[in-house]
Amino acid sequence: MVRFGREEWPESKRRFALDMSRGCWLSKIDLYTMQIVRQIKIGVDCRSAAYDKDGKYIIASSKDPGHVVILDADTFKVLKVIPFLGVSKFFPTPMMGRQGAILTTDLGYWLVNVKDAGMVLVIDYRDPEFPIVHALTSYDNNSKNRRVKVQIGDKTYEVTGIGKSPHELNKLDKEGRYVAVTRQESDTITILDMKNFEIINVVPCGKKPHPGPGTLVPGKYFLTNAIAEGKITAINLQTMDVEKYITYPKEFPADTGGGLYSTPPLPDGRIPKGLAWFDTSFNINKGAFAVDINLMDVATAPPKPAVFSPNKPGKWAMHPGHTPDGRYVISGLERTDTVYRVDAETGEIVGTIKLKEIEPVQLLEEPSPTGIFPAWRIKAPWF
């Protein structure tokens, strides 16, 4: 996971990016020299880290042990460690809460997913004591009074608030007033109003929804991929409810699995050519295809779906993203050393990058591209 600074920050802060490895090494990278200038290990299994709005502080989360660590962004001095222990309707016995995603809002808060406790914690980064000021839980109700029944193991639950295993957090507007919380084991997305600390709705999605950065069409729609089936969920941001479910194209049989990621908007909010691209990481065929956001359906050729590798079962993460001009989609293929370049207008594969051939790069193990994080995100308010 890589986080960039913000365009309005002074150059002395904007030049640095954060990298959080699965092995819990939090690294500060100088984008001018491409060197690591600060590094700290905060646990043994990690997923996420984030700056505050002004770049003064960093918050990093660990699944093992279940805690967050808050640091000074310049020095990496540890300012506070917050361990988490909680219960939910899915885990009635208190247990250490593994941390999932972290999101920074412009309202003065960090949001932290606590997976096992089925909650989202709200931490005020404007207060130097970094207090937890609110918790949204699995016991809460939503303002639309929706109750979604989910089967987990041999039990049936009604999801009204934060469901089981909240995994990802996505802004639905520039400031982060409205936020989507994805719960893979509940097959739902919960929509939050962070100005009023309210749960607006619980939206049924495809099996094991996974938006990654997600495709946000500002003021209109939010689209998410799903891991366990080839179905995309489009949420209407005016009604905060399902607009449509979109089935994968025939090149990627929907019953063989879905994907992990889709292309976010460019910094100005545009979806290049009106086409959002979705990967098919868990499908039998690996590649990417476009959804026409105006028709709210799979795009009719052109562009045609781009098949990178057919008949490859298992997880092959790809992480598609647009080039700054929107002309191409760049997508990696895990378990290979290959990054693909796809013409966003035609769907043709027009080039590849072999990571082993890039010099000078020192590789400790075989390269396997799993994440692509374009530097133009510095200018984007959506992350």
User: Are the CB atoms for 361 and 17 separated by under 8 Å?
Assistant: no
Q: 284-332: per-residue pLDDT in tens?
A: 999 999 999 999 999 988 999 999 999 988 878 789 999 999 999 999 9
How far apart are the C-alpha atoms of 200 and 194, rounded to whole Å?
Answer: 10
Regarding predicted confidence, which is higher, 125 or 114?
A: 125
Q: Length of the chain in residues, anyone?
A: 383
User: Residue 22: which pLDDT band, with cuts at 50, 70 and 90?
Assistant: confident
Q: Which two tokens stand for residue 144?
A: 């639309």
What are the start and end residues of each CATH 2.130.10.10 domain in the chain? 212-383
SS3 label, residue 194: coil
CATH 3.40.50.410 fits 212-383, yes or no: no
Q: Taking all residues of the chain, what is their mean pLDDT, rounded to a whole number?
A: 90
Question: Residue 36's closest CA among 17, 62, 21?
Answer: 17
What are the start and end residues of each CATH 2.40.10.480 domain in the chain? 1-82
Statement: residue 202 has pLDDT above 80: yes
Q: Which residues pair with 232 in a beta bridge?
A: 246
User: Are the CB atoms for 342 and 306 separated by under 8 Å?
Assistant: yes
CA 42 and chain centroid, separation:
21
Across 127-148, average pLDDT: 92
* Share of residues in the chain with pLDDT > 70 (%): 94
Ramachandran angles phi, psi of 225, nearest 5° = -80, 180
Across 322-347, average pLDDT: 93
How far apart are the C-alpha atoms of 68 and 59, rounded to whole Å?
Answer: 7
Q: What is the pLDDT of residue 342?
A: 97
DSSP state of 41: E
How far apart are the C-alpha atoms of 46 and 164, rounded to whole Å?
Answer: 19
Statement: residue 87 has pLDDT above 60: no
Q: What is the pLDDT of residue 309?
A: 92
Question: Residue 166's closest CA among 191, 193, 147?
Answer: 191
Question: Residue 260's closest CA among 227, 219, 301?
Answer: 227
How far apart are the C-alpha atoms of 184 and 100, rounded to whole Å?
Answer: 12
Q: What is the pLDDT of residue 150?
A: 79
Q: What is the pLDDT of residue 18?
A: 96
Q: 152-198: per-residue pLDDT in tens?
A: 677 787 889 888 778 899 999 999 999 999 988 889 999 999 999 99
Whole-structure pTM value: 0.93
Q: Which two tokens stand for residue 311?
A: 């008949």
Q: What is the CATH number of domain 1-82?
A: 2.40.10.480
Ramachandran angles phi, psi of 238, nearest 5° = -85, -40
- Looking at 76-90, 103-117, 154-168, 170-184, which range is the least confident one? 76-90
Ramachandran angles phi, psi of 270, nearest 5° = -75, 145
Q: What is the pLDDT of residue 142?
A: 94
Question: Residue 176's closest CA among 236, 98, 102, 226?
Answer: 102
